[in-house]
Structures are given as C-alpha cells and as structure tokens.
Amino acid sequence: MIPSKQIKSVSGRPIPLPGNDLDTDRIIPARYLKCVTFDDLGQYLFYDVRFNSDGSQKEHPLNNEKYKGGTILIVNRNFGCGSSREHAPQSILRYGIKMIIGESFAEIFADNCTAIGLPIVIAHSGDISNLMAFAQDDPACEIKVDLEKQEAAYGDFTIQVNQPESVKKALLAGTWDSTHELLSAKEQIESVAKNLPYLQFRS
C-alpha cells in the first residue's frame, strides 16, 4: 500500500481571482487536452484569459506582478463548473497552487481536486469578499489554513472554512488517493458484483 501525503495545513500568499461560474474551459481550453500526460499543463492555466493570440499578456491576476509567488487561489461561486476534465485541477496544481478557497465549487471539480491532493475549502461569501479585498491591498500577506481547525488566518483575522467531513478526513489521514483503500475490499467487491442482476443477464 502506497499511502498518500497527509495534508493538515497550507500556508502561502494569495491570488484573488474574482468571478462566478468560472468554468473548466476557462481554466484550461480544450485544445490543451490533446496530451497523454498531465506533466506540461501548468503553463496553460487560464490561457485564453491570460494571453492574446500573439502571446502577449492580458490583464489577469495570474499575470499581475503583485501576486507573483502566490499559492492560494481565492475564488467565488461555482468554481470549476462544466467538464469533468481533471486537466483543470492538474493545471492549477502544476502551476504551483497549493490550495483554493472559494464560495462554492462544482461537484466533479471538487472530487478531482481531492483525488489529486489539492485541498479546497469553502468560506462564506462575505468572508471571501473581505479576504479578496485584503489580498488586493496587501498581496504579500500570508494566509494560513488549518484543516484540522477548519480555519483560515490572515493579518489580524481568522475566518471559518468548511469541507465535507469525508474530504477533511481523507486529507488529514492521507487517504485521498483512494485506490489502495478501495482495493483492500476485493472480496466484498466481488460479492457485490455477483449479486448484481444485470451482470447475470447481459448477453
């Protein structure tokens, strides 16, 4: 059994990325899905909203000097909606992001983040607005997210953050890479399969 890494806390500088419903096509355009490994995806993160067709930079938080070196993305509502492409969280992770704090996340995107050990946490809308404003004023500030306490601390402030209990446990215990845990129930898996009517009558 290969245990995955325990993730108990994350610290880093913020990158505020305002906007609701930022979809997976925005996070990584489909043309960059033409690959057989995830290795090079970091460079394509938010490509079409960061770069013009001639390669010159557009105005975007990821292009903004003041957020350079930031590792904690701060986002709004329904982040990651759309496609199931794991390329989206993979490109975020490989760009160097260590955590995402947001108002809410699309479901498949959230599952994909957990599966690759990229922690995401939810915070209240008002807290997100305050945190974004603080980060814009003081981009060098350090945010510390404690997953055990489900708290994020920055400046003189501490806000509550949330994760589904199962996600929190998986990150703290280092069981977010679930394959080996799932495989350990091989006999039970085979017994469920034996009792599925449709596997008997499929021609």
Partner 1 sequence: MGTALVDKVWDLHKVRRLPNGKDQVFIGLHLIHEVTSPQAFQMIREEKLKVLFPKNTFATVDHIVPTEDQSRPLKDPLAEEMLVALEKNTKDFNIQFFNFASSKQGIVHVIGPELGLTQPGMTIACGDSHTSTHGAFGALAFGIGTTQIKDILATQTLALSKPKSRRINITGKLNKGVYAKDVILNIIRLLGVNGGIGFCYEYGGEAIDRMTMEERMSLCNMSIEGGARMGYVNPDDTTFEYLKGKEFSPKGEAFDTAVSWWKKIASDKDAHYDHGVNIDGSKIEPMVTWGINPGQAININENLPEVKSLNASERETAEEAYKYMSLPAGKPVKGIPINVAFIGSCTNGRISDLREAAKIARGRKVSKKVKALVVPGSQQVQKAAEKEGLDQIFREAGFEWRQAGCSMCLAMNPDKLQGDQLCASSSNRNFKGRQGSSTGRTMLMSPAMVAAAAINGAVSDVREFL
Using CA atoms, how far apart are residues 89 and 120, in angstroms rounded to an integer?
Answer: 11
Helix (H) or strand (E) holding 94: helix 87-95
Query: Which residue, 33 or 153, has its beta carbon nearer to partner 1?
Result: 33
2 binds partner 1 (CB under 8 A): yes
Give the burial class of 23: count Cβ atoms within 10 A of its Cβ; 0-12 exposed, 13-18 middle, 19 or more buried: middle
Site for partner 1 in 59-88 (CB under 8 A): 77-78, 81-86
Residue among 8, 9, 29, 151 that touches partner 1 (CB under 8 A): 29
Query: Residues 117-156 vs partner 1: string with x where CB under 8 A?
Result: ----------------------------------------
- CA dist., res. 12 & res. 187, Å (int): 43
Residues 6+ apart with CB under 8 A from 112: 84, 86, 88, 89
Q: How far apart are CA 109 and CA 15, in angstroms?
A: 19
Q: Which positions touch partner 1 (CB under 8 A)?
A: 2, 19-21, 23, 25-26, 29-31, 33-38, 48-49, 53, 77-78, 81-86, 89, 104, 106-108, 111-112, 115-116, 164-167, 169-170, 173, 175, 177-179, 181-183, 185-186, 188-189, 192-193, 195-199, 201-203
